[in-house]
Structure 1
Amino acid sequence: MDVVINIFVGLHIIGIASLLGGFLTQMKAMSGDGARFVPAMLHGALTMLVTGIVLVGLNQAADHSVNNIKIGIKMAVLVVILALVYVKRDEEKVAKPVFGAVGLLTVVNIFLAVLWT
């Protein structure tokens, strides 16, 4: 079971990398005319959501302790990210505050995962 959990942790990290990488590639555009949400950001957020839900289920099935408050907060942050990216995905230019909020929330989600033990 630990091997399966580790595989999904790896997939979860790939989702984070896709979301944050998509954001970072648009940083230069944000300082100019305006950035846009690239498909990698939407796919990364969806990957994080699906693998995160699977990870919670696998950890509970393996009788590992799960901090439900931490998971709930991380999921709420991710749902906000996913909603912003999904709604604005077809726009050529996204407002700087909205785009910046997605990047900030992504970093917050990463630090929640790493620092909250």
Structure 2
Amino acid sequence: MDVLINVFVGLHIIGIAALLGGFFTQMKAMGKGEARIVPGMLHGALTMLVTGVALVGLNQADGSSVNNVKIGLKLALLVVILGITYVKRDDERLGAPLFGAVGLLTMVNIFIAVLWV
């Protein structure tokens, strides 16, 4: 079971990398007001959602305790990220505050995962 959990953790990290990497590639364009949601950002967020739900289920099935408040907060942030990336995926330009919110919420999600014990 540990190997399967670790595989899903790796996939979860790949999803985070796709979302945050897409954000970083658009930061220069964000300064000019020309940033857009690239497909990798949406796919990364969806990967995070699917693997995150799988990780919660696998950890509970393994008998590990899960911090439901932490997971709930991370899920809420991810739902906001998914909402923005899904709705704005076809827009040619996205305002800097809204695009910046995607990056900020992603980083907050990462720090919650790492720092909240």
- TM-score, with structure 1 as normaliser: 0.99
Correspondence 1:30-69 to 2 at 5 A:
30-69=30-69
CA–CA separation in structure 1 for the residues paired with 2:28 and 2:97? 15
Query: Quick one: which amino acid aligns to residue 114 of structure 1?
Result: V
Superposition misfits of 4+ residues, deviation over 2 angstroms: none
Name the counterpart of 1:107: 107
Helix, strand or coil: the match of 1:98? helix
CA–CA separation in structure 2 for the residues paired with 1:26 and 1:58? 35
Structure 2 residues without counterparts, runs of 5 or longer: none
Structure 1 residues without counterparts, runs of 5 or longer: none
Query: Quick one: which amino acid aligns to residue 11 of structure 2?
Result: L
Correspondence 1:1-117 to 2 at 5 A:
1-117=1-117
- CA deviations on 1:56-107 (whole Å, 9 max, x unpaired) are 0000000011000000000000000000000000000001110000000000
Query: Quick one: which amino acid aligns to residue 75 of structure 1?
Result: L
Q: How many pairs align?
A: 117
- The worse-fitting range, judged by mean Cα deviation, of 26-35 and 3-12 is 26-35
Helix, strand or coil: the match of 1:93? coil
Query: Quick one: which amino acid aligns to residue 31 of structure 1?
Result: G
Query: Quick one: which amino acid aligns to residue 69 of structure 2?
Result: I
Compute the displacement of 1:32 (Å).
1.4
Compute the displacement of 1:34 (Å).
1.5
- The percent of aligned pairs where both chains have the same amino acid is 74
Query: Quick one: which amino acid aligns to residue 44 of structure 2?
Result: G
